[in-house]
């Protein structure tokens, strides 16, 4: 009996603990209730010392049976409503979080939800349509490219066939002028070229004179790098470019080449740009290493400053080419010690590319002003030209330059 009472007392005490804990939680500032101890716990558990002084109710071991109620009878209004247990309040959530946690399942909410998903649906639909259009365009592009390249490949192959045929014709013309001596001379190098005699025969065949400026016209066409030699590569490449600029249908035979050379020879007299190009090319075929020998330069100037081509270096009162040649011989030519012997004199100066090009600039200036008033010591003329101006004034070819008025500081 004592054990049964003690057990029932512990069970009642657990119920009381739960009720009292809920009451304590109602008070502001109190911590939340702790869970009740297990059935095996005693009244000396930690955290419940305040409950030790409460009286322990006794529970009758033989309780009277509850009165039986009929269906029509209502239970007496003796029920005790237990106190409400107030749970701790959860932290406030934002409106967006609340809507996410508890979505609206009404028709309006479903409509809103479908609207929210519409951009994503639009992206997928647009991507699918774009992919389909891209596939169609890719097929069209492949078809277009196939037709385009087929047409252009046909045109390119036809053009290449014309170029190959033209090359064979030019090579055949070159081979007709090449002699066995030329082949032997070029056997070691392996580069076919026409020697001096073969080059002269070719010049005569196209109506050029090896002793005048027409020599330079032909050398510029066939891309010669020295006088007296025409390479097969330069001959074929040069004339191929000429035919392409004229008309691809023109036959590159000797008759066509002769007509073109004659037209170029006439162009020199009335085309300053072409004349300048020919003058500058003369240095390429006449130089040795990086400079041109002075005797070669004098011969080139005589060919290029000629009245027959409309570029005579002469004014009303001065024959500039004659004065220039006299000045160069006096300044840089050393005659042989025995004039009767078959010896030649020596030149102590060569002509650089800068001197060659600046001489043409000086020539054009003298044709405009024979008094040499354009010249100044402060200008960047080559030293030979500066000395030539001084020499002309000393010789009385031109009048001495008037002294400039001196500035007087006040």
| CATH number of the domain that residue 322 is part of | 1.10.238.200
246 and 179 fall within a common domain: yes
pLDDT digits (tens, 9 = 90+) for 101-129: 444 544 445 444 444 455 666 566 667 67
pLDDT digits (tens, 9 = 90+) for 291-332: 999 999 999 999 999 999 999 999 999 999 999 999 999 999
Those residues whose C-beta lies under 8 Å from the C-beta of residue 224, and which sit 6 or more positions away, are 218, 230, 231, 234, 285
The label of the residue with tokens 């087929």 reads 150
Measured over the CA atoms of residue 252, residue 258, residue 260 and residue 261, the dihedral's sign is: positive
Specify if 120 maps to a domain. no
Specify if 73 maps to a domain. no
Where does the pLDDT of residue 186 fall: very low under 50, low under 70, confident under 90, or very high at 90 and above?
confident
Q: Are 365 and 313 in contact (CB under 8 A)?
A: no
**SS3 state at 193:** strand
215 and 229 fall within a common domain: yes
**SS3 state at 34:** coil
Question: Mean pLDDT across the stretch 72-91?
Answer: 50
Specify if 15 maps to a domain. no
DSSP state of 291: B
CATH code of 269's domain: 1.10.238.10
Specify if 67 maps to a domain. no
Residue 284 scores a pLDDT above 90: yes
Question: Mean pLDDT across the stretch 341-358?
Answer: 92
Total number of domains constituting the chain = 2
Token pair listed for 207: 């109506």
Domain range for 298 is: 290-404
Half-sphere exposure in the Cβ direction for 102 (13 Å, CA): 4
328 and 267 fall within a common domain: no
360 and 375 fall within a common domain: yes
pTM for the full predicted model: 0.61
Q: Are 269 and 310 in contact (CB under 8 A)?
A: yes
Token pair listed for 302: 């005589």
Residue 78 scores a pLDDT above 70: no
Q: Rounded to whole angstroms, how far apart are CA atoms 391 and 384? A: 10
307 and 273 fall within a common domain: no
Q: Rounded to whole angstroms, how far apart are CA atoms 410 and 406? A: 12
């Amino acid at each position: 009996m004592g054990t049964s009472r003690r057990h029932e007392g512990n069970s009642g005490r657990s119920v009381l603990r739960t009720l009292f804990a809920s009451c304590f939680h109602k008070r502001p500032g109190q911590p939340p209730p702790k869970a009740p101890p297990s059935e095996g716990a005693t009244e000396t558990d930690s955290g419940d010392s305040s409950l030790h002084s409460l009286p322990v109710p006794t529970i009758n071991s033989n309780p009277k049976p509850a009165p039986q109620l009929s269906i029509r009878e209502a239970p007496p209004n003796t029920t005790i409503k237990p106190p409400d247990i107030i749970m701790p309040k959860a932290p406030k959530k934002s409106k967006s979080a609340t809507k996410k946690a508890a979505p609206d399942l009404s028709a309006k909410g479903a409509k809103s939800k479908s609207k929210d998903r519409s951009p994503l649906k639009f992206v997928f639909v647009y991507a699918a349509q774009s992919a389909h259009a891209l596939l169609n365009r890719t097929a069209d592009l492949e078809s277009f490219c196939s037709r385009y390249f087929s047409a252009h490949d046909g045109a390119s192959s036809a053009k290449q066939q014309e170029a190959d045929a033209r090359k064979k014709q030019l090579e055949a013309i070159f081979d007709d002028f090449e002699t066995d001596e030329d082949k032997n001379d070029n056997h070691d190098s392996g580069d076919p070229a026409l020697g001096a005699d073969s080059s002269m025969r070719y010049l005569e065949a196209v109506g050029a004179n090896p002793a005048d400026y027409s020599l330079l016209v032909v050398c510029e066409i066939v891309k010669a790098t020295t006088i007296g030699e025409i390479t097969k590569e330069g001959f074929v490449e040069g004339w191929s470019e000429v035919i392409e600029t004229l008309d691809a249908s023109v036959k590159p035979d000797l008759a066509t080449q002769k007509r073109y050379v004659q037209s170029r020879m006439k162009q020199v007299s009335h085309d300053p740009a072409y004349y300048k190009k020919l003058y500058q090319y003369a240095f390429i075929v006449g130089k040795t290493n990086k400079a041109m020998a002075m005797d070669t330069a004098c011969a080139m100037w005589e060919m290029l400053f000629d009245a027959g081509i409309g570029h005579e270096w002469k004014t009303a009162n001065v024959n500039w080419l004659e004065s220039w040649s006299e000045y160069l011989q006096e300044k840089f030519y050393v005659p042989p010690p025995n004039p009767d012997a078959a010896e030649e004199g020596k030149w102590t100066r060569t002509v650089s590319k800068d001197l060659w090009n600046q001489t043409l600039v000086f020539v054009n200036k003298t044709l405009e002003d024979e008094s040499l008033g354009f010249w100044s010591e402060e200008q960047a003329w080559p030293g030979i030209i500066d000395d030539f101006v001084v020499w002309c004034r000393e010789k009385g070819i031109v009048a001495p330059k008037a002294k400039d008025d001196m500035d007087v500081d006040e």
